[in-house]
A and B are shown apart, each in its own frame.
Chain A
Amino acid sequence: MINPASGPLLFDTSAESWLARTDRSEVLAWMREYLSHHQVHISAVTVLERIRGYSLLWRRTEGVGRERIEAMRIAYLTTLGRVWPLDGAVAVVAGEIMALFPDPPTPPRRSHNLAESRHERLARWRFDGMIAATALVARMPLVHNNAADFESVRSAIERSPERFPNLGALELIRCGLLT
């Protein structure tokens, strides 16, 4: 279990939604305790992914459905805690991560008769690199729900420490191991 007082922690996009949707009482208790000590820290990239998602859902919907999506978007924006910017330092580290791993470590997602395009997969992989870079620059553990991608980044950084001077290791925490 991760001590909720020991943060702050940076939450990846999928980790944030996992925590937001959970109905497990022990996870909710952990979040309440965490929030009594810290804000939810996220990258500006997470805000970008989320707002793009709400906008795509809004465009796919009509009438009352659109009002519902817009209310959800506003609720999300009202809930924002600390948003870390994509600044010069993060860009430098993200560029190094992308050079180490130009291609995503796992294939595009598929679900029934739906599939993620190659360019969408690449964009998502690059966003993950920016979020990992933010965690390194902010010197915060990264809470994630995407082990395959982030463990690949962590291993690559460990193999090339000379490209990430004075940043230390990327510390990862899986959502399921918080409680």
Chain B
Amino acid sequence: MNLRSRLPDRMAKRRTTLTLPADSLTQAQRIARTRKVNLSTVIAEALSEGLRVHAAAERSVEVLNGYKKAFSGLSDEEVAILDGVILEPAARR
């Protein structure tokens, strides 16, 4: 069994052809030279960070929408109940 076949799917690598903005490519090549790594490593890191930011932004929208659904249309008294403040008619006490 070779090493590649033992790598988990998320670490497996595939060859592809991309068309990239020339400026970005030049910057990536400069970084690769400075760090003495190959261009694929720099592009993979940049892509990974970009995908992390994208996923975080999606998650942030999901959370804010979820909060909107969880609290919308409630009166102040109802929100107080959700906050743990239970008010009862004073005369009953």
Contacts and interface: CB of A to CB of B under 8 A. Distances in A.
B60 interface: yes
| Size category, A interface | 35 or more
- Interface of A: prevailing SS: helix
A16 B82 CA distance: 11
Nearest to B67: A20
B49 interface: no
Contacts of A174: none
Interface of B: 53, 56-57, 59-64, 66-74, 77-91, 93
B63 A50 contact: no
Interface stretch (A32-40, A89-97, A153-161, A163-171): A32-40
A75 B60 contact: no
Contacts of B86: 56, 116-117, 120
Interface string A116-127: 110010011001
22 contacts: A13-B84, A17-B83, A20-B67, A21-B67, A32-B57, A35-B64, A36-B60, A40-B63, A50-B82, A53-B83, A71-B69, A75-B69, A75-B70, A76-B70, A79-B70, A109-B85, A110-B87, A111-B87, A115-B88, A115-B93, A116-B85, A127-B84
